[in-house]
Amino acid sequence: MGYAVVGTAGHVDHGKTELVKALTGIDTDRLLEEKRRGISIELGFAFMNLPGGHTAAFIDVPGHEKFIRQMIAGAGGMEVFMLVVAADEGIMPQTMEHMDIINILGIRHGLCAVTKADLVSSKRLEVVVNEVKEYLYDIYKKEFPVISVSAKTGSGLNDLIIELAKIIEGLPQRDPGLYLRMPVDRVFTKKGVGTVIAGTIWSGSVGPGDIVEIIPSKASVRVKNVQVHGRDVSKAYRGQRAALNITGLSKEEVKRGVTVQTPGYIEELSTLMDGELTLLEDDKRPIKPIKNMERVRFYHGTAEIFGRVVLLDRDMLKPGEKGYVQFLLESPLAALPSDRYIIRTYSPQVTIGGGAILLPGAPRRKRYDEFSLKILKALHRGSLEEKAEALAVSTPHGLVDLDRAAKQLGVDGELLRKKACSGEKIRLLGSEKREFLMAQTSFLKLVKKVKKELSDYHKTFPLRAGIPKEELHTLLFKKYGDNEYNVLLKELEREGIVKIDRYIISLKEHEPFPTAKQLKKIKQVEEKLLENPFKPVPWPVIKREIFYFKREEGEEIINYLERMGRVVRVSEEICFHRDAVEKAKEIIKKFLKDHNAITVGEARDLLVSSRKYVVPLLEYLDREGFTKRVGDVRYLNKGN
């Protein structure tokens, strides 16, 4: 049992609405003005059951050139087109414009009904049928069913119904998608019900009780009820026409052109869109070339937005040509790669082209930039791995969240994860809580930069164990947030590039080693400390005598000696040589074996020192677990 949205297409007054009514019994002209003027102004909707248990949901679009915007809004939800051509007029300007739109939107399944067959001779009917067949073949390079019908007499309607059923039965199976996305093409209120929004579901599903998000306002609303073809349903699915009764917003607060989605599905709205653009070519409907920065009307889903076209690979796009472009939109848009779009001239309004969005939220691109064009080619025609790589390198810092990338590429996250784990172009970083993708080329460039920066740092500060983590963040990873920075550090550590010792980062193979000049200074410091081991020269005095107030150089050396275990700093001003500390421990231990406890005064006398030095030394020995202080005395800890 198949289901498809079938959209009408064709010139004004060619009988689209009459044909839909003859097929379904539903008059899709809702407005008084439509009935008065005899033409459709707004989108109309109807449905019918077909042989084989299939269902066709019809979108009846206006044919008049003034209402092409409404036609585009309806065409965005079509899967099957039903071109309507009147036998007494044949192919007309809006016939061609409608088919251009349908072709650009990627709708590849359909048929043609040649209407008003009862008004012309059989010869004229044959001419029009053949004309339409040739016209469709020229567009798609394949044949389509063309059926002569009369809404008035009913002739040909059964044949049309049978062909529709065959087409729907042969449609490729859809991927339902995990997340709801529904461009809204109709908003109305119903007494006793409230606000109702309707559209064709592009992906996912929706049911009563669901919380959905309205884009671009990002307002969250609850769905009270869902109907498909006027019947309450527990779920509406991808490809179906659905009406949602929502709470929290009035008719005036939600307009056609917005999109309903799973909350947070498309998080970022953007005014910059990379795209592939095809400019139409039509002898009967002359189209002018597009110049760089030309202002156009941009149509996506049911939305119309003004914007400008930046031509990235040429100075002018001529009819029949394809090129890579960037749209600078005047209002933000929620879009995904591969979404189709239409453009029309600003004034007068003529459909001139369209194509596929390649990257929403793109960085501002320079024209004729080889790197940018390479990215766009990968997004346009590349494999999944190549597209993921292009997506990653397009971000400001080269990292893209795995879940976000999966949404943008329209694939399952697990599939993308497997590609990242096994592929040569992208790598997976992070943990199960949050995973990232990064292009291998970007990672290798980062490795090169990190190696150079750390190598230079180690040469400049050979005595340091490494660079403080925060300093490296500022120096080399400024564009990364804390989370991304930590993820990259872990990956660099996993790859054996860096060593992480709490808050110090170094190259894995780095070991602090002094220069000849520093070795001389180190020897001087040690000798100075050992001149009077238990009453060492205060550190500020040593700095003044040896380093001549070069504070940083002195701190480098004392920190190095501390790390190497050759100096013990017991206070800001007092440092003991390790040999002195070990000798003091021997003396104190020997005393405690005979006397059980020791006071500060006794330690002072034993070491021939003063309280200034002995108190901080004893406190250090307490911290190290050598002694234990109880009141004013100290005991030897067990095990010493």
Q: Which residue has the tokens 């939600």?
A: 254
Distance in angstroms (rounded) separating the CA atoms of residues 568 and 581: 8
Q: Where are the alpha helices (DSSP H) in 141-187?
A: 157-169
For tokens 């869109």, the residue is 273
Question: Can you tell me the distance from the alpha carbon of 513 to that of 168, in angstroms, rounded to the nearest whole number?
Answer: 76
pLDDT tops 60 at residue 36: no
- What integer pLDDT is reported at residue 125 of this predicted model? 94
Q: Confidence class of residue 272 from pLDDT cuts 50, 70 and 90?
A: very high
Q: How far apart are CA 261 and CA 183, in angstroms?
A: 9
pLDDT at 66 over 60: no
Phi and psi dihedrals of 139, rounded to 5? -75, -50
Domains annotated on the chain, with CATH: 3-169 (3.40.50.300), 181-261 (2.40.30.10), 270-372 (2.40.30.10), 382-513 (1.10.10.10), 517-636 (1.10.10.10)
How far, in Å, CA of 65 to CA of 84, rounded? 15
Assess contact for 260 and 266: CB atoms under 8 A: no
CA distance 378 to 590: 77
Ranking 60-74, 573-587, 595-609, 623-637 by mean pLDDT, the lowest is 60-74
pLDDT grade for 634, boundaries at 50, 70 and 90: very high
- Of 287 and 618, more confident: 618
- The Cα–Cα gap between 210 and 214 comes to 13
Residue 73: the pLDDT is 65
Contact between 102 and 78 under an 8 Å Cβ cutoff? The reply is yes
- CB atoms under 10 Å from CB of 174, counted, come to 13
Between the two ends of the chain, the Cα-to-Cα distance in Å is 85
Distance CA 354, CA 100 (A): 9
Greatest alpha-carbon pair distance for the chain in Å reads 131
Measured CA to CA, the distance from residue 155 to residue 115 in angstroms comes to: 10
CA-based angle 134:140:144, to the nearest 5? Answer: 60
Confidence class of residue 41 from pLDDT cuts 50, 70 and 90? very low
**Beta strands, E only, 166-258:** 181-190, 194-200, 205-206, 211-215, 219-228, 231-232, 236-237, 241-247
Instruction: State percent of the chain over pLDDT 90.
Output: 49
Record the tokens describing residue 417, joined without a space: 């994860």
pLDDT computed for residue 541 by the predictor: 84
- Element containing residue 638 per DSSP (H, E): none
What is the pLDDT at residue 490?
94
Q: How far is CA 373 from CA 362, 366, 370, 380, 394, in A?
A: 13, 10, 5, 10, 11
Q: What percent of the chain has pLDDT over 70?
A: 93
Within 10 angstroms of residue 366's Cβ, the number of other Cβ atoms is: 12
Query: What letter represents residue 547's amino acid?
Result: F
Distance CA 376, CA 477 (A): 26
Q: Which two tokens stand for residue 624?
A: 């190290």
Which whole number is the average pLDDT over 12-37?
Answer: 68
Cα dihedral across residues 223, 226, 230, 232: positive or negative:
negative
pLDDT score for 251:
83
Q: What pLDDT, on the 0 to 100 scale, is given for residue 93?
A: 84
- How do residues 346-382 score in pLDDT, each as one tens digit? 888 888 999 999 999 888 999 999 999 999 999 999 8
Secondary structure of 582-611 in HEC code, one letter for each residue: HHHHHHHHHHHHHHCEEEHHHHHHHHCCCH
pLDDT in tens, 318-356: 999 999 999 999 999 999 888 999 999 988 888 899 999
- The amino acid at residue 401 is D
- pLDDT of res. 332: 93
Verify cis geometry, omega within 30 degrees of 0, for the bond prior to 263. no
The predicted model scores a pTM of 0.73
Tell me the average pLDDT of the chain: 87
pLDDT at residue 479 greater than cutoff 90: no
With 0-12 CB in 10 A as exposed, 13-18 as middle and 19+ as buried, what is 619? middle
The answer, yes or no, to whether residue 253 has pLDDT greater than 60, is yes
Which range, of 41-55, 315-329, 583-597, averages the lowest pLDDT?
41-55
The answer to whether 352 and 318 have CB atoms below 8 angstroms apart is no
Separation CA 406–CA 285 (nearest Å): 41
Give the pLDDT band of residue 28 (cuts 50, 70, 90): low
Region label for 248, one of left (φ > 0), alpha (ψ between -120 and 50) or beta (otherwise): left
- 10 Å Cβ neighbour count for 241? 25
Contact 499, 506 (CB under 8 A): yes
Closest CA to 425 of 374, 359, 482, 356: 374
B/e letters for 208-217, b = 16+ CB within 10 Å, e = fewer, are eebebbbbee
How many whole angstroms separate alpha carbon 607 and alpha carbon 616? 14
What would the pLDDT profile of 189-209 be if each residue is shown by its tens digit? 888 888 999 888 988 999 999
Q: Work out the angle at residue 78's Cα, subtended by the Cα atoms of residues 72 and 83, and round it to the nearest 5 degrees.
A: 80
- In the predicted structure, residue 111 carries a pLDDT above the cut 60: yes
CA 274 to mean position of chain CA atoms: 13
Structure tokens at 71: 């036609």
> SS in 3 state form for 498-526?
EEEECCEEEECCCCCCCCHHHHHHHHHHH
pLDDT above 80: residue 286: no
